Amino acid sequence: AKEKGKNQFQFFEWAMNHCQARRMNIEQALPAAIEEQAFHLVYQPMFNAEQGHLIGVETLVRWEHPVLGTISPCEFIPIAESTGHIIVLGEWILHKACKQMKEWHDAGLPRIPVAVNFSVIQFNQDLIVDMIIGALEQTGLDAKYLIAEMTESMAMQHNEAIIGKLHALKRLGVSISIDDFGTGYSSLCYLRRFPIDTLKIDKSFVQDVSGAGEDTAIVEAIIAMARSLKLRVLAEGVETEQQSERLCQLGCTDMQGYWHSRPLSIPQFEQTYLSAAYL
Ligand code: C2E
Ligand code: CA
Ligand code: CA
Ligand code: CA
């Protein structure tokens, strides 16, 4: 038994070292990857499921590492946040996304907005609003076609500076979405103080509305709350037809997820939404 305990300990130690080594690898590779633009963006359509039309596109960042393979943003974004690289990377992402959407509008795509994920770290920067204004000016995208997505976090709660920056963005015409809604530190008070346009219902709750009799209480509560605060509501992570239909019945018709479309590469997006058949 003692021997077994020792082996287990060695395994955990190995696993921990392995994780730390991977983290260090990623951390060390980040600056060069940013320099070499080793990242690319994919685009996931958002739909009004009732009318069946496109209402926007969310950009999601991808990193193809020559040795480590595809690294999920769930893994490298938190590392980029802790090292501060998220500032430069986030600016690059915003530029790319705005430029792409401007190009698609010019090519005849219906004037839908692009949603870009922001880290709260970016909003601690004094120059974040100027950076966003700069990206819009340099790419020629009108502010009304940009949605800033942010997850609720403790860091946002009583942060007057961040609230001020969000109001400045609102005045410019940028929309604000709260990502992963329901999983964070949401309080009703902050919902009133933040200039929010849309609540994105987290996919963990969407999974609960799969069929008749499934648990829909949280989703119903969020929809009711959004309605009373006059906010839009969008369900993310919709994977099945049943979920889509159930959400429509519950009054949430804006949605996003694998059922309607996976995140698409630029050529994939163009093949579908810039083709003669769609336009
Ligand atoms: P998120 O913003 O909540 O993005 C939604 C995630 O769910 C994406 O994962 C997307 O590919 C995935 N997804 C979409 N539809 C479905 C579905 O039907 N079922 C399931 N199970 N998943 C679905 P992804 O691309 O791996 O991104 C993970 C997270 O990484 C994002 O979560 C976001 O928090 C962060 N992230 C991604 N791109 C960026 C970025 O450009 N900047 C920042 N700051 N964070 C980003
Ligand atoms: Ca998001
Ligand atoms: Ca989300
Ligand atoms: Ca998320």
Residue ID of nearest Cα to ligand 1 atom 38? 60
Residues 6+ apart with CB under 8 A from 218: 182, 205, 208
What atom in ligand 1 is closest to the CA of residue 263?
Answer: 11
The amino acid sitting at 156 is M
Query: Is residue 154 scored above 80 in pLDDT?
Result: no
Torsion of CA 28, 29, 35, 39, to 10 degrees: -140
Q: How far is the CA of 55 from the centre of ligand 4 (A)?
A: 20
- pTM here is 0.94
DSSP alpha helix (H) spans, 86-235 = 86-106, 120-123, 128-139, 160-172, 188-193, 203-206, 217-228
Q: What is the pLDDT of residues 117-141, one digit of tens each?
A: 999 999 999 999 999 999 999 999 9
Neighbours of ion ligand 4 (CB under 5 A): 180
Q: What is the pLDDT of residues 19-28, one digit of tens each?
A: 888 899 999 9
Q: What is the pLDDT of residues 158-206, one digit of tens each?
A: 789 999 999 999 999 999 999 999 887 766 777 888 899 999 999 999 9
Q: How far is the CA of 119 from the centre of ligand 3 (A)?
A: 12
Residue ID of nearest Cα to ligand 1 atom 4? 60
What atom in ligand 1 is closest to the CA of residue 81?
Answer: 44
The token duo for 25 is 């690898």
| Ligand positioned closest to the Cα atom of 96 | 1
Residues 6+ apart with CB under 8 A from 147: 56, 113, 114, 115, 116, 174, 175, 176, 177, 197, 198
Q: How far is the CA of 235 from the centre of ligand 3 (A)?
A: 9
The amino acid sitting at 213 is G
| Ligand positioned closest to the Cα atom of 85 | 1
Note whether 237 and 207 are within 8 A (CB): yes
pLDDT for residue 74? 96
Across the chain, what does the average pLDDT equal?
92
Query: Is residue 277 scored above 90 in pLDDT?
Result: no
Nearest-5° Cα angle at 100, 97 to 105 = 125
**% residues pLDDT > 90 (the chain):** 77
Q: How far is the CA of 12 from the centre of ligand 3 (A)?
A: 32
Q: What is the pLDDT of residues 220-268, one digit of tens each?
A: 999 999 999 999 999 999 999 999 999 999 999 999 999 999 999 999 9
pLDDT for residue 186? 64
Q: What is the pLDDT of residues 91-103, one digit of tens each?
A: 999 999 999 999 9
pLDDT for residue 19? 83
The SS3 assignment for 127 reads: coil
Lining ligand 1 with CB less than 6 A are: 44, 59-61, 72-74, 77, 90, 93, 117-119, 179-180, 203, 236-239, 257-258, 263
CA distance 170 to 46: 21
| Ligand positioned closest to the Cα atom of 181 | 3
Q: What is the pLDDT of residues 70-96, one digit of tens each?
A: 999 999 999 999 999 999 999 999 999
